[in-house]
Amino acid sequence: MPSGNIHCAVQEGTLRCDVLNFTYARPPRPPGCALDWGGAVELGGKGAAALLCHGDTVADPRHPVLGYGRAWQGPGMACTAAQTGLRCTNADGRGFEMARARLRLF
């Protein structure tokens, strides 16, 4: 996204989005997660979005930027970028909203 704070990539049919800096309350860390938590979400073409326990990032300044007011469509999913954040949904109507101040899985 234009802010440079949210980065996404599709890997093997799954969308992963990372928010690099956030102010929302981090969800409780799951047992066994000793890595980064609360800033990365994955979404497949079907099923629920999930938070990731991760030790890496998909942030890459060489990736294209999805401008505000623009949409992206991928394998069974779509995202819309706005100044208020990113919203992505899949074929099941499941997805997430991500911004510096908000993370919502639905």
Residue type, 73: Q
As given in the structure block, the two tokens for residue 54 are: 């991760």
- The structural domains of the chain, with segments of one domain joined by +, span 6-105
Q: pLDDT digits over 19-31, tens only?
A: 999 999 999 999 9
pLDDT the model gives residue 24: 97
pLDDT the model gives residue 37: 97
Q: pLDDT digits over 27-86, tens only?
A: 999 999 999 999 999 999 999 999 999 999 999 999 999 999 999 999 999 999 999 999
Per-residue pLDDT band for 87 (boundaries 50, 70, 90) equals very high
pLDDT the model gives residue 47: 97
pLDDT the model gives residue 79: 98
- How far apart (Å, rounded) are the C-alpha atoms in residues 32 and 48? 21
**Three-class HEC string of 23-78:** CCCCCCCCCCCCCEEEEEEEECCCCCCEEEEECCCCCCCCCCCCCCCCEEEECCEE
pLDDT the model gives residue 59: 97
- How far apart (Å, rounded) are the C-alpha atoms in residues 96 and 85? 10
pLDDT the model gives residue 62: 92
Quickly tell me which residue has 């030790």 as its tokens: 55
Residue type, 87: R
pLDDT the model gives residue 74: 93
